[in-house]
């Protein structure tokens, strides 16, 4: 057993959590909640009501005898609320919380992690990944994902949210895994099973807003004047607020042995402090000793690079790559795709060369300005041709394979897997899944009706066709589960996936070690064809790709390691070559 693998069985317990109920040993627990404007608070522990003492920092605290499984909550100025930092929520988001100690899980399998440059990411939604929609059921599919060549899974948010079903981006009890998916121990066993077959596990976390129902946080937690698309902005100038999210990130990494976090829409975190919260959080995480590398991934529509430049964050989701490929293949030109539709081929060339497309050019009001990104290594970009957003935020939730010829999807898929950027797919892509992935939620009353109306208003069909399905209907959720109706079709796609990822592991990944830089030369060879070459220290990687037409001159394919159809004669084709400089 490697030395660091043995160390990975233990956790770094140096962090003192400020929020919630934390065991202190010998049956004693410390309860804390931040409510600076409240006059009084108490712990409701089963039938007991125990007073809390308010400190100068606005935290109320009590130390009490209790045990795992006890029901509890807080009385704040007489009003009962669940613990905003509950580690387990057995009932709904308005119900009492349940005492839990995630740090007490007994890990039996050593795990030393994997370096970032090896990442091939499989994004999944626990609720629709299997018929049962649970952590336990999802465990049964992990070995197959690893066998195909994926090295990481990225789980859409699992923090407790209202109702039974949803995407998870409306979480309100951020420390408690959603009860419909299973217990904290179920999630930890899922993580351990993934790592046992060599898969890193990343979790999508949402630190820019809370859901509209069930967020029992003090009014002081939010700005009085600043707003995001979801309401009052979170006030990151408050030390207790920063500590809440730092506690949350470190709990997932330490107690659930995650390999990293993906931070949702950080462009919506309104923060004028210095250092900015995201910088401070990155520094805190990098100061941990968990016996394995930790990887931090951003979603940031601003296309800025400073968080990656610091070395605190590994990579950022790169929607620019998706948009250029999608528009080139589908011809769609509505909404946020309109600037891309001006010249999608030029955008693709830039994405293959520099990673980001939007780098400060004037591309219309729909596009943020961005910054130059060519100085970053290819591994600083997570590329995809489909994600939960890009499928689910279509009115009918269609996957790319249902919009274009299969040959087109295969070629884009092969390009994604063999480029030196970090590739990510959405669950089912590896089997050519055609089932839609819709937006769905489980609200009631006015919130349900507002969600229905908002969905039609924001994502109604751009061509005036059928309106999106009812997001609240259980049938919409059920229709989003993976189906895999055609066994032969699925087998073909799995074979292609296995071959592509074998090629990537053998020939592309070794070039990327240590965040290696690449000198990129990207040339348009025809109306819809491109030759991209990335020169690394000792070798160069070359792709010839046709995305709808053959090149003007037949390419030299003599040294090709792999060809998907014939790049000289087929409109959708690809070849790869790795050679010395």
Query: DSSP assignment of 168-203, as one string?
Result: STT-SEEEEE-GGG--HHHHHHHHHHHHHTT-EEEE
H or E element that contains 124: strand 121-124
Minimum mean pLDDT among 2-16, 99-113, 452-466, 517-531: which range?
2-16
User: 515 in the Ramachandran plot: left (φ > 0), alpha (ψ -120 to 50) or beta?
Assistant: left
Q: Could you check whether the bond before residue 112 is cis, i.e. omega within 30 degrees of 0?
A: no
**Residue 133, annotated as binding a ligand:** no
| 562 DSSP β-pair partners | 576
Rounded distance between C-alpha atoms, residue 503 and residue 508, angstroms: 7
Ordered by start, the domain boundaries in the chain are: 518-580
User: Going by DSSP bridges, is the β-strand pair 572-580/381-383 parallel, antiparallel, or unpaired?
Assistant: unpaired
Q: Decide: helix, strand or coil at residue 303.
A: coil
Q: What is d(CA 371, CA 266) in angstroms, rounded to the nearest whole number?
A: 16
- Pick the range with the lowest mean pLDDT from 14-28, 345-359, 456-470, 493-507: 456-470
Catalytic: 259? Answer: no
* Per-residue pLDDT at 277: 98
Does residue 300 have a known ligand-binding role? no
Greatest distance between any 2 Cα atoms in the chain: 81
Q: Give the phi and the psi of residue 416 in degrees, each rounded to 5.
A: -55, -45
Respond yes or no: is residue 213 known to be catalytic: no
Report the mean per-residue pLDDT for the chain. Answer: 94
Cβ neighbour number for residue 35 with a 10 Å cutoff = 25
CA-closest candidate to residue 385, choices 373, 403, 400 = 400
Residue from 309, 285, 280, 253 nearest 113 by CA: 253
- Whether the pLDDT of residue 2 is over 50: the answer is no
Is 311 annotated to bind ligand? no
What SS3 class is residue 152? strand
The answer to the question of whether 392 is labelled as a binding residue is yes
List, in sequence order, the alpha helices (H) in 269-405.
Answer: 277-286, 306-309, 319-330, 338-341, 344-354, 388-392
Is 209 labelled as part of a ligand binding site?
Answer: no
pLDDT > 60? residue 1: no
- Mean pLDDT, residues 525-536: 97
pLDDT confidence band for 516 (50 / 70 / 90) = confident
135 marked as part of a ligand binding site: no
**Residues 119, 434, 562: CA angle, nearest 5 degrees:** 50
What is the C-alpha separation between 502 and 495, in angstroms, rounded? Answer: 11
Q: Poorest-confidence range of 477-486, 504-513, 542-551?
A: 477-486
pLDDT at residue 113 greater than cutoff 60:
yes
What's the pLDDT at 9?
Answer: 40
Q: What would the DSSP string read from start to end of 509-564?
A: HHHHTTT---EEEEEEEETTEEEEEEE-SSEEEEEEEEESS--SSPPP-TT-SEEE
Contact of 240 with 218, CB cutoff 8 Å:
no
Question: Which residue matches tokens 């979603």?
Answer: 299
In angstroms, rounded to a whole number, what is the distance separating the alpha carbons of residues 481 and 128?
A: 4
Q: Average of pLDDT values for 236-242?
A: 97
Place of tokens 């730092």: 246
Residue 265 assigned as binding residue: yes
User: What pLDDT score does 7 carry?
Assistant: 37
Euclidean distance between CA atoms 528 and 543, whole angstroms: 14
Q: Is 536 annotated as a binding residue?
A: no
Q: Is 262 annotated as a binding residue?
A: yes
Q: Half-sphere exposure of residue 574, counting CA atoms within 13 Å on the CB side?
A: 23
- Chain segment 6-63, per-residue pLDDT in tens: 334 435 555 689 999 999 999 999 999 999 999 999 999 999 999 999 999 999 999 9
Region 328-343: what's the mean pLDDT? 94
Looking at residue 581, what is its pLDDT? 79
175 marked among binding-site residues? no
pLDDT given at position 484 = 80
Question: What local confidence, expressed as pLDDT, does residue 16 receive?
Answer: 86
**pTM for the whole structure:** 0.95
User: Band of the pLDDT at 464, cuts 50, 70, 90?
Assistant: low
How far is Cα 198 from Cα 192, in angstroms, rounded to an integer? 10
Residue 267 is assigned to a ligand binding site: yes
Side-chain half-sphere CA neighbours of 5 within 13 A: 10
Residues 6+ apart with CB under 8 A from 356: 303, 318, 320, 350, 370, 371, 373, 381
Catalytic residue of the set 118, 123, 255, 264: 264
Work out the average pLDDT over 63-81. Answer: 98
pLDDT digits (tens, 9 = 90+) for 264-307: 999 999 999 999 999 999 999 999 999 999 999 999 999 999 99
Residues in the chain: 581
Q: Under CATH, what is the fold of the domain 518-580?
A: Immunoglobulin-like (2.60.40)
pLDDT at 3 over 80: no
User: Distance between CA atoms of 325 and 207, rounded to whole angstroms?
Assistant: 30
The answer to whether the annotation marks 386 as part of a ligand binding site is no
CB 114 within 8 A of CB 9: no
Tracing tokens 């955008």 back to the chain, one arrives at: 347
Lowest-confidence segment of 77-81, 223-227, 312-316, 497-501 by average pLDDT = 223-227
Task: Exactly one of 154, 235, 299, 442 is catalytic; name it.
Answer: 299
pLDDT in tens, 437-452: 999 999 999 999 999 9
Contact 18, 243 (CB under 8 A): yes
Q: Is 306 annotated as a binding residue?
A: no
DSSP-based three-state secondary structure for 60: strand
- Residue 21, SS3 per DSSP: strand
Residue 384 near residue 321, CB atoms below 8 Å: yes
């Amino acid at each position: 057993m490697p030395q660091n693998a043995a160390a990975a069985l233990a956790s770094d317990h140096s962090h003192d959590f400020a929020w919630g109920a934390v065991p202190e040993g010998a049956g004693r627990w410390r309860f804390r909640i931040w409510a600076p404007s409240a006059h009084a608070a108490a712990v409701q522990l089963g039938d007991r009501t125990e007073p809390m003492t308010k400190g100068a920092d606005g935290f109320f605290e009590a130390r009490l005898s209790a045990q795992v499984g006890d029901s509890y909550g807080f009385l704040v100025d007489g009003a009962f609320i669940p613990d905003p930092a509950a580690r387990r929520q057995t009932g709904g988001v308005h119900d009492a919380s349940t005492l839990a100690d995630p740090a007490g899980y007994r890990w039996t399998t050593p795990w030393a992690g994997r370096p970032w440059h090896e990442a091939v990411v499989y994004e999944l939604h626990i609720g629709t990944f299997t018929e049962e929609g649970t952590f336990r059921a999802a465990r049964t599919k992990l070995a197959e994902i690893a066998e195909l060549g994926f090295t990481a899974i990225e789980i859409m948010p699992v923090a407790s949210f209202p109702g039974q079903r949803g995407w998870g981006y409306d979480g309100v009890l951020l420390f408690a895994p959603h009860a419909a998916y299973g217990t904290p121990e179920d999630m930890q066993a899922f993580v351990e099973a993934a790592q046992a077959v060599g898969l890193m596990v990343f979790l999508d976390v949402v630190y820019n807003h809370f859901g509209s129902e069930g967020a029992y946080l003090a009014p002081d937690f939010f700005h009085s004047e600043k707003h995001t698309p979801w309401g009052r902005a979170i006030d990151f100038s408050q030390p207790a607020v920063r500590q809440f999210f730092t506690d949350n990130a470190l709990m997932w990494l330490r107690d659930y042995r995650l390999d990293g976090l993906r931070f949702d829409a950080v462009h919506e975190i309104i923060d004028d402090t210095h250092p900015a919260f995201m910088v401070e959080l990155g520094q805190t995480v990098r100061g941990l000793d968990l016996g394995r590398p930790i990887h931090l991934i951003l979603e940031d529509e601003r296309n800025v690079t400073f968080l990656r430049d610091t070395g605190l964050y590994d990579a950022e989701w790169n929607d620019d790559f998706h948009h250029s490929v999608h528009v080139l293949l589908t011809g769609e030109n509505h909404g946020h795709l309109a600037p891309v539709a001006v010249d999608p081929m030029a955008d693709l060339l830039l994405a293959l060369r520099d990673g980001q497309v939007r780098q400060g050019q004037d591309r219309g009001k729909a596009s943020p300005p961005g910054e130059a990104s060519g100085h970053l290594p290819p591994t600083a970009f997570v590329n995809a041709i489909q994600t939960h957003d890009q499928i689910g935020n279509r009115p009918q939730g269609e996957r790319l394979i249902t919009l274009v010829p299969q040959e087109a999807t295969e070629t884009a898929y092969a390009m994604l897997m063999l480029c030196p950027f970090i590739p990510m797919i959405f669950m089912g892509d590896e089997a050519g899944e055609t089932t839609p992935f819709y937006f769905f939620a489980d609200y009631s009353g006015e919130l349900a009706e507002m969600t229905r109306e908002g969905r039609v208003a924001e994502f109604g069909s751009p061509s005036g066709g059928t309106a999106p399905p009812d997001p609240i209907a259980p049938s919409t959720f059920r229709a989003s589960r993976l189906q895999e109706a055609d066994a032969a079709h699925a087998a073909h796609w799995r074979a292609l996936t296995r071959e592509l990822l074998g090629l990537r592991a053998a020939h592309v990944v070794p070039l990327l070690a240590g965040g290696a830089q690449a000198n990129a030369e990207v040339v348009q060879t025809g109306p819809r064809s491109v030759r991209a070459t990335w020169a690394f220290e000792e070798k160069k990687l070359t792709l010839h790709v046709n995305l709808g037409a053959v090149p003007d001159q037949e390419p030299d394919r003599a040294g090709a390691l792999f060809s998907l159809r014939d790049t000289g004669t087929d409109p959708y084709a690809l070849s790869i070559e790795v050679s010395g400089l």
